[in-house]
């Protein structure tokens, strides 16, 4: 495994193009490094996974995470899928069917970023949009030793992944989902290997897996924009390891990174993830 890292061809000289050699396959990603990152102090690392047919750079341009990363001292890596989508663990995506080792890529990517920058291993996070959101749910289930918390936007959990989800440590989970999502229905969908849980089913599962309190605290967020949407926030506390499980249900929201103009998805995601911390080696 080797990494070649050079300045990317972008207008921002804090963006670097990286290549991880995984076996005989070269895997690529974009890394955003805020000016405030210290060479000595360990920084949190966020992995941001794009949807089907997109790229890491497209994800970077679309979600607006970099300005928050600059303000909060957060490294952000935007990985590229090898074949247009991620091996989400359902035996149904192209990457799954081709046997793409995306979990190995994630582990190698974190190791290589940590080789070049001081990374706080108790604050490694993942966020995904659409099919990338399905993939981060797999990471939470299968790589909880590496990933402290995940956020999936416009994506629940794959039903085949849910059936064998046995995380080795508590994982913070945020789900944001529109009730009018036409790609992954809010109530879930049963299509054999392509079946997905509903948004609430997903957070209910994580509440159980993390040993959270049964009842959630909930509130409807202020209706700041006349876009026909309303956002309900539900939060489960009392979980093992101090993690949280949060569901943002967007009434009238569609399949989008920003399903409501009432909130900033990037800010909700970053604020949530940075609240989740783990002492490395603690799997309680």
The number of domains in the chain is 1
Tens digit of pLDDT for each residue in 239-283? 999 999 999 999 999 999 999 999 999 999 999 999 999 876 554
Query: Is residue 99 domain-resident?
Result: yes
H-type helices in 143-246, by residue range?
A: 159-163, 199-209
Query: Is residue 182 domain-resident?
Result: yes
Tens digit of pLDDT for each residue in 220-233? 999 999 999 999 99
Q: Is 190 exposed, middle or buried (0-12, 13-18, 19+ CB in 10 A)?
A: exposed
Query: Is residue 281 domain-resident?
Result: no
Tens digit of pLDDT for each residue in 90-104? 988 999 999 999 999
Query: Is residue 260 domain-resident?
Result: yes
Query: Is residue 271 domain-resident?
Result: yes
Query: Is residue 282 domain-resident?
Result: no
Domain that holds residue 253: 3-275
Question: Alpha-carbon distance 31 to 68, whole Å?
Answer: 14
CATH number at residue 125: 3.40.50.1820
Report the predicted TM-score, pTM, of the whole model to 2 decimal places. Answer: 0.94
Question: Alpha-carbon distance 277 to 15, whole Å?
Answer: 26
Query: Is residue 284 domain-resident?
Result: no
What the block records as the tokens of 96 is: 């799954």
pLDDT > 90 fraction of the chain, expressed in percent and rounded: 87
């Amino acid at each position: 495994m080797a990494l070649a890292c050079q300045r990317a061809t972008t207008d921002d000289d804090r963006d670097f193009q990286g290549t991880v050699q995984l076996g005989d396959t070269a895997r690529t990603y974009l890394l955003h490094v805020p000016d405030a990152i210290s060479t000595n102090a360990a920084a949190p690392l966020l992995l941001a996974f794009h949807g089907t047919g997109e790229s890491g750079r497209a994800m970077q341009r679309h979600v607006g995470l970099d300005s928050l990363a600059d303000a909060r001292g957060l490294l952000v890596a935007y990985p590229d899928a090898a074949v247009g989508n991620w091996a989400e663990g359902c035996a149904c995506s192209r990457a799954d069917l081709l046997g793409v080792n995306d979990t190995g890529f994630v582990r190698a990517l974190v190791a290589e970023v940590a080789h070049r920058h001081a990374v706080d291993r108790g604050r490694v996070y993942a966020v995904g949009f659409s099919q990338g959101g399905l993939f981060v749910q797999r990471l939470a289930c299968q790589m909880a030793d590496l990933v402290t918390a995940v956020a999936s936007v416009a994506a629940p959990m794959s039903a085949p992944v849910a059936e064998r989800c046995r995380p080795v440590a508590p994982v913070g989970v945020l789900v944001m989902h529109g009730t009018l999502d036409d790609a992954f229905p809010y109530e879930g969908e049963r299509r054999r290997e392509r079946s997905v849980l509903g948004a609430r089913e997903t957070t209910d599962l994580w509440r159980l897996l993390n040993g959270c309190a049964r009842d959630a605290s909930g509130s409807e967020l202020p209706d700041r924009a006349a876009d026909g949407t309303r956002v309900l926030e539900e939060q489960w506390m009392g979980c093992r390891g101090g993690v949280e499980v949060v569901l943002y249900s967007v009434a009238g929201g569609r399949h989008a990174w920003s399903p409501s103009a009432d909130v900033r998805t990037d800010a909700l995601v970053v604020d949530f993830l940075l609240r989740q911390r783990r002492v490395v080696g603690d799997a309680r």
